[in-house]
Each structure stands twice: as C-alpha cells, then as structure tokens.
Structure 1
Amino acid sequence: MVEFHMSQLAKKHQYTHWTVEEMLSIPAEEISSPGQLCADPRVSVILMTRNHAPYLRQALESVLCQVTSFSFEVLLGEDHSTDHSITLCHDLQTAYPKTVRVITAAKQVGITANFLRLQVRARAPFVALLEGDDYWTSANKLERQIELLDNNPDWAWCGARTLNRIHPLPASESYGLSEVSRRFVVHTSTIMYRRKALNIYPRFPDMVGWISMVSIVLSQAGRCGFLDETVSYYRRHAGGLYTGANTLHRIELAQAFTDVMRSHLANRYDKELFDRELWICSWELQLDPQTFSLQLWIYRIKILFSLIAPRLCLRMPGHFLKLVSNVISQPLRVVYFWKRNKKSSV
C-alpha cells in the first residue's frame, strides 16, 4: 500500500527543491549531432519514453510534422527500456539529426528524474510535453499554443483537448490553481509551458502522478490557458503507467498525491484536493454492467469502507454518502439493465 504521512512530508518535501546542478547530475548520456542542430529553437519538445517501441515512431512523427514559423528541437528521454526502444531512438536520431536529441543512461532513473534531466537540458524558452505512447493530431499545435502564450504573458502554461479522454471541467479561457487542484484540467500530451517556470522543482516523491505535480507547480507560477481545440490522442493500453495499474493501486496513488500536495500547498487547497480524490475514487468504483460480478462488487465495498471511508467520510460527508449509495446499489442496477435489455431484444 502507498502511504505518506503529513509530518514526514512536511519535513522531507517542504522548502526542499532540486537545483539545476542536481538536475544535471542525474545520470544522462546525450546522443545527438551538435553541429547539425538548430541554433535557436523556440520550443523544446520533451518526449518521454519507456517500453514504448510499438508507438514511439508515431509519437515522434506527429511532432516532426508540425507546421511552424519557428524552429524546435525534440529531446527523446529514454529511461532504460526493456524492449528495443533504445535502438529505435538511435535510429530516429540518425534519421532526424537536425531536430532529435536522445537522452538516456545505463540504468533506469524513474519518471521524475527522467523529466528533470530533459527539462534542464531544454534550450528553448518554451517546452511542450508528450509521452511515447501518445501522439499529436494537429499539425498546428505548437504554433497555436505559442500564439496563445505570447498573447497572454501572465500565463505560465497552457493545454487543450485530447481524443480518448474526457475533459473534466467546462471549457474556460484559463484555469487557476484552485481548478488545477480539483481536476486534471488538461492531458500531458497537450501541455506547453514557459521553461523558466520550472527552473527549480520541489523534491516530490517519484510517482505515476508526476504530471499532476508538475501542473500544480506551473499553476503557482501563473494560470493555465486553454486552447479549445483537439490536438492529441491519449492511448489507453495495458502497459500504460496509469491505465495499466489496478483499481486499488490507482486509489492509493490518488491518496498519496493528496497528501503530498497538502504539504506542498500548506493545506491552503485541502477542499479542492479532497474533492479531486473523491472524484477519482468515484470513477474507479463506478459500475460497468459488462464486467460486473458479485466478487468484484464485494471487493469494491471493501475498498470503499477500508480505504476511502477513513479519509473522506467526515471531510466530505454528503459526497461520500452519495458514493456509498452508488456502490451499494450496483447489483440492483445491473438487474435493471439486464431486464431492460432482455425486454428490448424480444
């Protein structure tokens, strides 16, 4: 079980940050062609990958097909994959020496360290993010987002819509720290930010929810602009860092994120953070008539009262009781759906 305690977090993480020197000390070997790279990129695309060999070429090509009025570079962060991703990275760098820089190492460094060693080596004033199993669907993504941030100098970052992922908040011109604390306002594959906003970075624990932590830090530097256009595709597959985890582990990760952020934000956004946690729990325990079983239902009940109730029952009693009602009534709703479908098929 993932456990973080507030007293330990306050002592370990508050007021403690990665320095540039420490980011540069993360194991990293660069494979690039310095003499051929563009001299003054406007955007550095951080493309993080581990065991994404079946998808990596499509991800990179979706970046390379961008139509821009400026130059950009791609930092391919390969985190010691067990498939042939590193070989593919070598091939892609050889094929695109003017754009691609590969950053790797002889050992795995983890999600956060992989991101930070790329962040510190990015040469452009703007950074765009993409993971190796997703891809961009709009050839104008970078141009449109640069325009958005240029027109709004007080915004620290921006995002957009993503295919295969529900946008959890009503569309808005921009989002502040309160909204970002409550929901995943934009997907990783749509994010662009001002590089200087992350010149220093808190020493958060290495977790799958790293991008939510990045989003919080960026929102402390400025608002998140929203481009109400679809620019990327989120690929769901068993090997994905989040979609490949099971229900119990995903709820534990949500709870760990809440505890880390409560410490980081000095309890100023507790209401929003617990609302986010309950929202995730509701999604994880929701009914799926196609896969419903009594064994699965009993498992959900156990999670609800042993893991979720101690944290949320008193903090959010009304919303928690609604969640209890939804989970307990699942067998009745399955019977209703089954009878309705049987009647309609006659």
Structure 2
Amino acid sequence: MNPKVSIIMLTYNHAPYLKQAIEGVLAQKTDFPFELIICNDHSPDNSHEVISEYADKFPDIIKYFNHQKNIGFVENQRFAFTRAQGKYLAYCEGDDYWTDHEKLQFQYDFLETNPDYVMVTARNLLLHQNDNELTDDGKNHIFNNEEYVDFTQDSFFIKRPTQTFTYLIRKAFLDLKWIDIYPNYRDLYYFYHVLEFGKGRSFNKVVGVYRLHDGGVFSSLEIEKKLLTSIDIFKNIKRQNNDNRADKQILKDQDELISKYYYKKEFKNPLINQKLYAAVFDRFSISRDHKTLAMQLVKILKYSLTRQLTL
C-alpha cells in the first residue's frame, strides 16, 4: 500500500540522538500508511549502525539511504524529496524528535478536510543540550492563548509560528526547481513558495522537541551570522520574485543586527567598526529613512565616546 505521508529525516553526525528521533516517528498512531526516508550524508560517527538496526526491523516503513560520500545538506535534501511517495511531506532531522504520538494523524485529518490549506504546523519545546533544560519556543505572544493561528504568504514576512520539523505540507506544491534557483537552499524558500497556493495553520500544541546543541547561548558573533543569513535569504526572495514585502523582515533583522553591535562586549569601539557602518547604510538603502540614519550615526559616536571614558 502506498504511503500517504513521507517523513524526511536528514542526518549527519547525529548518532547520539537518532534513536530518539526514529522512535518518535515509529510511535505515530495513524489510520494510514506512512514511510520514513532516512538519508545519512556519509556520517563519520556510528549513525549507520544505529539506523541499520531500525531499518532491518521495520523494512516496510523505513527507507534507508546511506550515501557513500558527503553530498552536503542541499543535495541530501533534494535526494530525499525525490524519493518521497506520499501525498504529504513531514520533516524531522536526526537530532530533533516528536513527542506527540498523534502528530501525523491530526495534521493529516486537518489537511484532508481543509483543501484551502497547504500546510499545517504546531509548536515545540527547546532542549538546551548542554544544560539538559527544556524551555518553550518563545512564541506565546504569537498565539496569545488561542487554539491556533493562520498564516499566509503575506504574514510570512512578519511572523512564522513554526519550526520545520513540526510541519505537514502538500507535496504537490513543493517545486524542486527552487533548489537550483536559490543559493544555499533553505526551508524558508519553499515555505514562501508553497504559501503561493494557500494558507497555513499552526496549532497551539507541542508536538516535539528541537535540540540546541550549544545550550541556547549565542555569542554576539553567532547572532551576527544568524541575522546575516536571514537577511540574505529575504534579499534573495525579494530579488528573485520582485517582492518588496521582504523588506519588512530585512529591516527587522538589520535593526537587531545593529543593536547587537552597540551592546555586545566584542565590539568595544563602534566608531571604527566597518561592519556596523555597512549594516546601518544597508538598512538606509532599503528604508530611505534619513532621520533613523542620522540617529544611528549620532548614537555610534555617543556610545563610542561613552565606552572610551569607561575603559
């Protein structure tokens, strides 16, 4: 019987976590068949042994592909998508795991009865690995105690109440051509394009745990990388689709990036920080807001002088 849902599990060096990830999928209680596609990108750890044990036990569910050389995340993802046979796609990387045994069933039922929706997601907990501490996903303000929130391509640029490993999407709307069009293909690209065809709904219920290997403590340099990546993604979306709505997210990320430079210890003298000036003028190139530009330049000077007097 053909699977109704294909679960994609990409993995590289996830051996300590794979058992929890795989068992979270196998524990799903459904009235429909599903498949678990595990793509191991030539992990040098013992991931192959861990996966093989489960693949041998559950050959009707698990489709295991062990690449003989490392092909990278983007190509591993492309490979996995092309192997999926289900009407719907779910996703769970090898270091995350599902905790709700009815995650697939309630999402499948929702999409089956709501054809105007192209994807459904939910909430998750965060596991700070170094401290072995669970926290919420920081999205309470989005849900505001409501049972669910809907999102569209328009609201995609303002709020995204989801993590990739919580979604179920209609495979028919996943066009793999975007992998070749966008550099360093990310999930945000296909979220954007899938939402061209309908709405999304995110339920205010926890379905899994997203693992933070660094304990959730980011240095300002790591924050810088995260924000620059986001800025680059939304600039690519804007450029490729002539979609100025992306400016909302770009400006938001730039404002956060600039504020991190002001107040993190690594940047002792903003007055001579070229990256800071680049961010300020990049923001101005989009907003054309002369008042904000002037205020930011004055703040750089004022903050730099204050820092020098206190050193």
8 Å CA contact 1:168, 1:185 repeated in 2: no
Q: Percent of pairs identical after alignment?
A: 22
Pairs within 5 Å for 1:1-346: 39-164=1-126, 165-167=137-139, 170-171=142-143, 173-202=149-178, 203-207=180-184, 210-238=186-214, 246-278=222-254, 281=257, 293=265, 295-298=266-269, 302=273, 305-316=276-287, 317=289
The 3 A distance-change label for structure 1 pair 71 and 211 is same
Unaligned runs of 5+ in 1: 1-38, 333-346
Q: For residue 71 of structure 2, give the secondary structure of its aligned residue in structure 1.
A: coil
8 Å CA contact 1:161, 1:227 repeated in 2: yes
Q: Normalising to structure 1: TM-score of the pair?
A: 0.71
Distance 1:223 1:300 in 2: 46
Cα deviation for residue 222 of structure 1 reads: 1.9
The 3 A distance-change label for structure 1 pair 286 and 193 is farther
The 3 A distance-change label for structure 1 pair 94 and 217 is same
8 Å CA contact 1:251, 1:284 repeated in 2: no
Task: Report which structure shows greater RCO (CA 8 Å, sep ≥6).
Answer: 1
Cα deviation for residue 102 of structure 1 reads: 1.0
State the Cα deviation string for residues 277-304 of structure 1 (Å, max 9, x = none).
33663786696xxxx64x4554798376
State the Cα deviation string for residues 55-99 of structure 1 (Å, max 9, x = none).
111011111111111111100011122222123222221122121
Distance 1:178 1:133 in 2: 31
State the one-letter code of the partner of 1:147: D
8 Å CA contact 1:111, 1:210 repeated in 2: no
User: What is the aligned-residue RMSD (CA, Å)?
Assistant: 3.4
Task: Name whichever of 78-87 and 317-326 sits farther off.
Answer: 317-326
State the Cα deviation string for residues 171-218 of structure 1 (Å, max 9, x = none).
3531011221334431011011011111443124453x7111121121
The 3 A distance-change label for structure 1 pair 214 and 276 is farther
The 3 A distance-change label for structure 1 pair 302 and 111 is same
Count of residue correspondences: 286
The 3 A distance-change label for structure 1 pair 280 and 99 is farther
The 3 A distance-change label for structure 1 pair 221 and 108 is farther
Cα deviation for residue 314 of structure 1 reads: 4.8
Q: Normalising to structure 2: TM-score of the pair?
A: 0.79
